[in-house]
Structure 1
């Protein structure tokens, strides 16, 4: 059986034609799923019974099963642990803001990038998620909170550009009018820096926001915390960003997780300034999420502020990411890992 969420409109219309059904039924079904949040074929009241039987024989609606739900004490952050049909689990986080609800979705089960500060990569990568499985996280989360999602961040477990084709299809469907109709300007894709894919993404002239997980101002430091730096130098990454900016006219966001005693000195700050000065960019400072399996400690609030003010003084547009959901382990991979460990005990 196929996950119907893996089908775009044209593919579902083609299936209807091949199965002697009217094309317009495809839109009816898409409306039930995406507009009404319906995850049961039997509840689609304007679909003929004969077609419903065909659908149930050939498809399932892959919205995932809820394993665990955590809610922050401020009721502004929800973390969900979802399970797919094969038993694999991923995490999804929903953050409520005044301007709307943002969702951080996973693109892979696990991750093979090996970044030292990330819990989702500790056990390696299990498999890619399909476009439909990513869409299923949004559909299920909307049903759980009873509100519409308006912004998407591909920054959960996994490296989006390591699952490139499925991510491209996801972006196409989630942006479509028949689906969630979420504008590309409301979508952010975060990557640790797979240079060829960044350039290919630029050539597609999408309007999404590109976020680069930089986390260090030089190669020596970056290699210690991000193995991808052994394949692509910082110069390679920055050159790819310049290409992306030139092609799309879009600002690039640099994610910089501040680790105490590692990359949070003012010397690092000045080095970072020299690296990105003159680029159409923005720096997002992130107090690193502490993970039990490593010894990385988050920078003190004073050091974060000093780093921030130095960047501002150096005329680099900068923000400090608001910490949300720290009381529910909202960082990538923590909930999944703790749940799997508890099941082994």
Structure 2
């Protein structure tokens, strides 16, 4: 973990979300988050959201992190170090019953800063370590990579049988809208992304998760839901709906709960397995698309410095 030094730590008002700003050896900074879940009667989940790059090459207008120019990709060691810091430093005294050779964290998602699949080799090495007995011994279902839709890398991810789940951020079901929301769509249009997803499914026998952030009046109509059903219907792949965060240019606002529920019901009626997920950590800007934004704006973090 010597390649990263923690600079500041923010905690959400409910105490269930933590955000850390790390400084790399060359002075560049990245953020990662820890999300704690406890469902009544269920097992606790402790999930790290790790970054793969300093800045981002995608440039989605609704994403403050995406508007930060790409400075460089993180090394495999830097990616792993984020996870190990949370594993080693956040294990509470109450977890003393868990042997030190047993991990405390339950999941890692590569959904922080950057596009993971544009840092393919380092991501692959990091996943390999986290899944190994020398690392954290995490299985495929405990690791998830999210991509904006780099079609060739989706195919490669499947052919190399990387032991992590794969999620594709769609956010729109027609090219005109997706070109505006996810600019890499001009390079890899929806049909090429979906074809790559189908090839991934064919080569691995596994499904892909589709992610869709809902923004009021932009991509949340029943007509938008119908387009999504037409695009991915029959693939037997689940959709995770999330509320867009109130950050970014262009006046993007999250959909109302009523609209989101109607969107979800339409997808379910169309045969699409759909989950509506709550945004986490928005009050400390640790939510989707928010990492490192406050630090770069100069307004400081609602955090204590380490």
TM-score, normalized by the shorter chain, greater than 0.5: yes
Match of residue 201 from structure 1: 157
The answer to whether the aligner puts 1:97 opposite 2:58 as a matched pair is no
1:285–1:343 Cα change, 3 Å: closer
1:335–1:106 Cα change, 3 Å: closer
Structure 1 consecutive aligned stretches of length 4 or more whose deviation exceeds 6 Å:
none
Match of residue 11 from structure 2: 71
Match of residue 84 from structure 1: 24
Superposition deviation, residue 104 in structure 1: 0.5
Instruction: Summarize deviations over 1:247-304 as a string: whole Å, max 9, x none.
Output: 1111211100111111100001011001111102000001101215441111111111
Match of residue 98 from structure 2: none
Q: Secondary structure at the match of 2:298?
A: helix
Alpha-carbon contact 1:80-1:92 (below 8 Å) kept: yes
Match of residue 121 from structure 1: 66
Picking from 255, 266, 288, the partner of 1:310 is 266
Match of residue 27 from structure 1: none
Match of residue 141 from structure 1: 86
Q: What does 1:236-275 correspond to in 2, within 5 Å?
A: 236-275=192-231
The 2-side partners of 1:275 and 1:292 are apart by 27
The 2-side partners of 1:84 and 1:292 are apart by 26
Superposition deviation, residue 334 in structure 1: 3.1
Which entry has the higher C-alpha Rg, 1 or 2?
1
The TM-score, its normalising length taken from structure 2, stands at 0.89
The TM-score, its normalising length taken from structure 1, stands at 0.79
Match of residue 57 from structure 1: none
1:288–1:333 Cα change, 3 Å: closer
Match of residue 58 from structure 1: none
Work out which structure has the larger RCO, using CA pairs closer than 8 Å and 6 or more positions apart in sequence: 2
The 2-side partners of 1:172 and 1:186 are apart by 13
Superposition deviation, residue 332 in structure 1: 4.5
The 2-side partners of 1:95 and 1:320 are apart by 17
Alpha-carbon contact 2:64-2:291 (below 8 Å) kept: no
The structure that is helix-richer by fraction is 1
1:121–1:323 Cα change, 3 Å: closer
Alpha-carbon contact 1:256-1:284 (below 8 Å) kept: yes
Cα RMSD between the aligned structures? Answer: 1.6
How many pairs align? 284
